[in-house]
Amino acid sequence: MRIQNKNFNLKQIADSGQCFRMNLISENKYSLIAFDHYIELEQIEEDLIDISCSKKDYDLIWKDYFDLDYDYGRIIDVLTSGSDEFLKAAAAYGSGIRILRQDSFEMLISFIISQNKNIPSIKACIERICETYGKYMVDNTSGTVYYTFPTPDILAEAKKEDLRALKLGYRDEYIIGASRAVIMGDIYLDSLKNHSHEEAVIVLKGIKGIGDKVANCISLFGLHHIEAFPIDVWMKRVLTEYYEDKFDPMNYKGYAGIVQQYMFYYIRHIHGESK
DNA sequence: TGCCAGGAAGCCG
DNA sequence: CGGCTTCATGGC
């Protein structure tokens, strides 16, 4: 199915550090596993993308997943016409980034894993977890074998030694604990979507293994609170090198998370597209 | 070999 | 509260 949409660039989204199961498979073409689905996407032109799905699935799943009803162009216009030179360049460079509406539990676990790891390593860990605990699936159209992201009940009962064998390091018990918190009803991820970002962060930080940065990532990418503003080592670099630690996300109240993504994507590019 | 990665917990002052 | 150390693991 071919769709036309502005501010929609596959490479930028795949390399934006928000999703870990979207991969380049050939030139301008990406595979993506989300929820229980596998799709392939191809960037035909700047605003033109082919998705290997039916119109029904597009309307039901992917239109929402890629946040295609939101006008990112409006944000780009504000930033590129502003006086902040770094943000001008960053917004122009990453104008095809969108904040995906990913599964909240997958984001919870993925960003617990992310701590003190680089992106390739995070992706490798997540694939091992899916292969071990997810459902075996075959995509009808391409014949591709893939594994879904495991459900909370499966991970809640996982053995620490088995997780440790997947090279998760000390994060194994965080994963089990967080999954149990979901199962036990200590935390209702989907209801947190209806709470404020601030409330969501407080609740998330109640889970062992989740600090301020990871909580903000889960809030932004898993709950779609686009006012979240995660600060990792790359963002610290931006804030010190370009803003003398005086950047105030409140200047972009309500959509600071989108601004953050432009900054993150751009600083990594400046520092050599390091992966 | 030491340092770094989309950090957080534990401890100390 | 803020600073320091430790925590697995892989890649360069």
Tokens, residue A249: 């996300």
C1’ B8 / CA A208, Å: 8
CATH number of the domain enclosing A124:
1.10.340.30
User: Could you tell me the residue range of the domain that residue A43 belongs to?
Assistant: 2-71
A205-222 residue pLDDT tens: 999 999 999 999 999 999
Angstrom distance (rounded) from CA A240 to CA A121: 26
A215 & A118 share domain: yes
A27 & A117 share domain: no
Angstrom distance (rounded) from CA A49 to CA A9: 9
Pairing mode, if any, of strands A136-138 and A37-45? unpaired
The residues of the protein lying within 7 Å (CB) of strand C read A 116-118, 120-121, 164, 167-170
Q: Is residue A275 part of a domain?
A: no
pTM: 0.98
Find the residue closest to C10 using CA and C1' atoms: A121
A91-129 residue pLDDT tens: 999 999 999 999 999 999 999 999 999 999 999 999 999
A153 & A67 share domain: no
Q: Is residue A150 part of a domain?
A: yes
Angstrom distance (rounded) from CA A89 to CA A242: 12
A233-263 residue pLDDT tens: 999 999 999 999 999 999 999 999 999 999 9
Q: Is residue A178 part of a domain?
A: yes
Nucleotide nearest to A18 (CA to C1'): B6
Domain count, chain A: 2
Strand C nucleotides with an atom less than 7 Å from a protein beta carbon: 7-11
C1’ B11 / CA A212, Å: 19
